[in-house]
Structure 1
Amino acid sequence: MTETKQSKETVGSFTMKVLNGSATAIIVSLLPNAILATFLTPFTSNTIVASLLHTVTVFQYFFAVMCGFSTAKQFNLGYIESACVGGAAFIGSGCITAVQKTVNGTTTTAFQFAGMGDVINTMLTAAAAVLFIKWVGNRFGSLGIVFFPILAGAGIGFLGSLTKPYVSMITTGIGDVINTFTKLAPYPMSILIAMSFAILIVTPLSTVAISVAIGLAGMGSAAGGFGLASSATFLIWATLKVNRPGVPVAVFLGAIKMMMPNFLRHPVIGIPIALTAAISTLSVPILGLQGTPASGGFGLIGAVSPLASYNAGFHNIPVLVIVWLVIPFAVGYLMKKIFVDWTKICKPEYFVSHAE
């Protein structure tokens, strides 16, 4: 059941496995909705299209289960243990809430989805479940099928649900700091928000959750979207020659967080990412581009941020294409040449992805 081949685990290797497992889960859970939702929404009058839209929307809510399972498989755990880690992560994520309903005088408890949950607490809960399972090892013997679901699954999941409110405070605190940027003048505000979101997208923090939580709207939302677009365009150029074609394609389609382990291992890559965002986002105050709290955390994913600018009243499509695609790709290419090819500040191997 548990892994038979023992290897010495360090804090660094353990952390990287958790991050790689989480990055894989993010790719799998978010891409279907991110790509299809924007294009399916106008056709929801069709029953089949509406059902498909509901499907991809619900699919992303299982991120926590996927995160736990894929993290467990990073440690070569068996299927029973992996399922327990997935269940623990699901509970610890906080994506399910209990709702009291009263019908005909009778009060019952119902459970409903509350989004994806807290990404950081999901990862911490999955890591705790893995640690518990590795610590127990084969002590349970054949009774592991009984004790692992109770202790590693429900037990660790319950502990994760207790830490969730406190861990969420970290995300909220960071969001409050970013929100102060909106009180600045348009140009520095746009640059600071874009740089912040460009970096946040390659960390465990959810840019969508932060954008919605702090109500990032107007130019602030557009700047956040530019930060994500800029991060994506630079990483596409940087990963192009050192990975299989699927990696830059996945980054373009929205799986930027698959580079999270690379950033945490080599933080210096944040410099060209931030500079790409700082330069590209100048289009926001110049053209007065707008967005919504939801669009601020997506960027080019599903063309959500560009479409938000269009829906906000900027209907010049050729200009939108130039500012959202041409400029970020051009600046990202220039940053790649400067930091990777010319100065060698960022080595090509920094961008090799292990999340495939």
Structure 2
Amino acid sequence: MSKMIQNTVKPVQNKRSYRVREFIVTVLNGTSLGIVITLIPSALVSQLLLLFAGNPVAAKVAFMTTLIQSTLPLVAGFAVGQIFKLSPIDSGSIALAIFVSSGVVTQTKSGMIIGGTGVILNILLVAIIATALVKLTENLFGHLKMLLQPLVVLMIAGGIGLATLDPLRQVQMVIGMTVAYATDLTPIVLGAVLGGVFAFLIVSPLSSVGIAMAINLTGIGSGAANAGIVVASFTLAAMGAQVNPLGGTLAHFIGSPKIQMANMLTKPKLFIPTTIGAMIMGVVATLFGVKGTPASAGFGFSGLIGPLTAFTLSDGSVSAIFSILTTFVVLPVILAFFLKWLFMTRFKLIKPDDLKLTLQ
């Protein structure tokens, strides 16, 4: 009899844990979609606009593409709601709770300042809490839903988010300080470590750009970090090309590989090929003397910020151009397809569906 009870309880527990996992993955997917929608426009045109400095039209485009980056919390909230097929009121409630606790708004004596994309760790946490709260109270308020739902979700989920904002911001700073220790290593080891670390950061809930800026990562350290991100982007794009649309495949390196955040966090084996490739390219970038700045270190190939910054910091010689093209295009593409063959065809550790995007 006890065995029958145990056998009944176990499937129920497994089903419940699966639902929790599915819920978190869906929230991650919605947040990833928000990141892609708000960050890709700037990545696509930022370097191009530098050619039209002083042009009023270019200035307006730069204003628009920069401003929308700060709407990441709002867009992520609506994206989560859309994927869950929630009503506009529910989606809007989630978006508001995430926005107020994301860190994009700073209060001053004279008013409020909007800037940056917020603390993504906190955005994810509040997205999970707000969405769970909306699901629990979806039919609770009846005809008063329009009045009460946004307020309740804002006060509870947004309030929790405001309380966790500073601690999670500190977590990001501590991680940044830990990464900073890598800059004291010998050049070759430095390149391998920074390449691998930033390939991890770019697909995690942490901000690779924020950490690079916080530790003032410059010179060959910045170049190695960018090289690691580039090969991770190409590797993920190549491995998922079979199951993802062309736009989604290109978004990995033209935009951001953070589009794969949900898959990476739920299938840690995907970090194996990206980390191997990133460490190799980190060493290559160091040997070639490819450089970068704190502002370019976390972008990789996105918007051509990494390669163009490396070119700006070089002497402009033919050998420098060769090194930059080899580091940011030739070797990452070759290595990406080799890693795809190694882990998908040879070892069969990874399947195309492991990288399928659910953001279309």
Task: Give the unaligned 5+ runs of structure 1.
Answer: 1-6, 101-108
> Contact 1:289 / 1:314 at 8 angstroms: preserved in 2?
no
1:151-300 correspondence to structure 2 within 5 Å: 151-300=152-301
CA displacement at 1:317 relative to structure 2: 2.3
Q: Counterpart amino acid of 2:101?
A: G
How far 1:10 moved relative to its partner? 1.9
> Aligned AA for 2:359?
A
Q: Deviations over 1:159-194 (max 9, x none)?
A: 211210001122112111111100000100110010
Name which of 337, 341, 344 aligns with 1:340. Answer: 344
2:84 is matched with which residue? 75
**Does 1:355 pair with 2:356?**
no
Shift of 1:48: 0.8
Structure 1 CA distance for aligned equivalents of residues 242 and 151 of structure 2: 46
Give, as a single letter, the amino acid of the residue that structure 2 aligns with 1:53: A
Q: What residue number does 1:89 align with?
A: 98
Deviation of 1:287 (Å): 2.1
The aligned amino acid for 2:285 is V
Say whether the 8 Å CA contact 1:239–1:247 is kept in structure 2: no
Contact 1:18/1:71, CA 8 A, preserved across alignment: yes
Give the drift of 1:158: 2.8
2:36 pairs with one of 14, 27, 31: 27
Alpha-carbon distance in structure 1 between the residues aligned to 2:72 and 2:309:
25
| RMSD value, Cα | 1.6
* Shift, 1:98, TM fit: 0.9
Whether the 8 Å CA contact 1:279–1:331 is kept in 2: the answer is: no
Q: Distance in 1 between matches of 2:156 and 2:24?
A: 22
1:248, distance to aligned residue in structure 2 (A): 1.1
Distance in 1 separating the partners of 2:352 and 2:137: 40
Q: Secondary structure at the match of 2:238?
A: helix
Alignment match, 1:103? none
Q: After TM superposition, what 4+ stretches of structure 1 lie above 3 angstroms from structure 2?
A: none
Is 1:325–2:325 an aligned residue pair? Answer: no
Q: Cα deviations across residues 22-78 of structure 1 (Å, max 9, x unaligned)?
A: 111111000000110111023121111111111101011100101111112222211
Decide which structure has greater helix share: 2
Structure 2's unaligned 5+ residue stretches are 1-14
Distance 1:295 1:115 in 2: 15
- Residue 39 (structure 1) aligned with residue 43 (structure 2): no
| DSSP-derived class of the 2:329 partner | helix
Inter-partner Cα distance in structure 1 for 2:315 and 2:211: 25
Residue in structure 1 matched with residue 7 of structure 2 by the alignment: none
Q: Which amino acid aligns with 2:89?
A: I
**Rounded Cα–Cα distance in structure 2 between residues aligned with 1:154 and 1:34:** 34
Within 5 Å, give how 1:94-133 maps onto structure 2: 94-100=103-109, 109-133=110-134
Comparing 223-232 with 275-284, which one deviates more in the overlay?
275-284
| Structure-2 separation of matches of 1:185 and 1:91 | 43
Q: Distance in 2 between matches of 1:40 and 1:330?
A: 30
Asked if 1 retains the 8 angstrom alpha-carbon contact of 2:227 and 2:327, the reply is no
Aligned residues: 342
Find out whether 1:52 has 2:61 as its counterpart: yes
Q: Whole-Å Cα distance in 2 between the matches of residues 337 and 91 of structure 1?
A: 45
Provide Cα deviations, 1:296-322, integer angstroms capped at 9, x if missing partner: 000000111111111212423233212
How far off is 1:154 after superposition? 4.4
User: Given the two structures, how large is their TM-score scaled by the length of structure 2?
Assistant: 0.91
Matched AA of 2:355: F
Instruction: Find the residue that maps to 1:187 and give its secondary structure.
Output: helix
CA distance in 1, matches of 2:331, 2:315: 17
Aligned to 1:18: 27
Displacement of 1:252: 2.5
What is the TM-score normalised by the length of structure 1?
0.92
Verify the 8 A CA contact 1:27 1:255 in the aligned structure 2. Answer: yes
Q: Aligned partner of 1:319: which letter?
A: S
Q: CA deviation at 1:155?
A: 4.1
Counterpart Cα distance in 1 of 2:142 and 2:151: 15
Matched-pair contact (CA < 8 Å) for 2:224–2:281? no
Q: Distance in 1 between matches of 2:311 and 2:207?
A: 24
Tell me which amino acid in the other structure corresponds to 1:321. L
| Counterpart check, 1:308 vs 2:309 | yes
Alignment check: 8 A CA contact 1:69 1:85 kept: yes
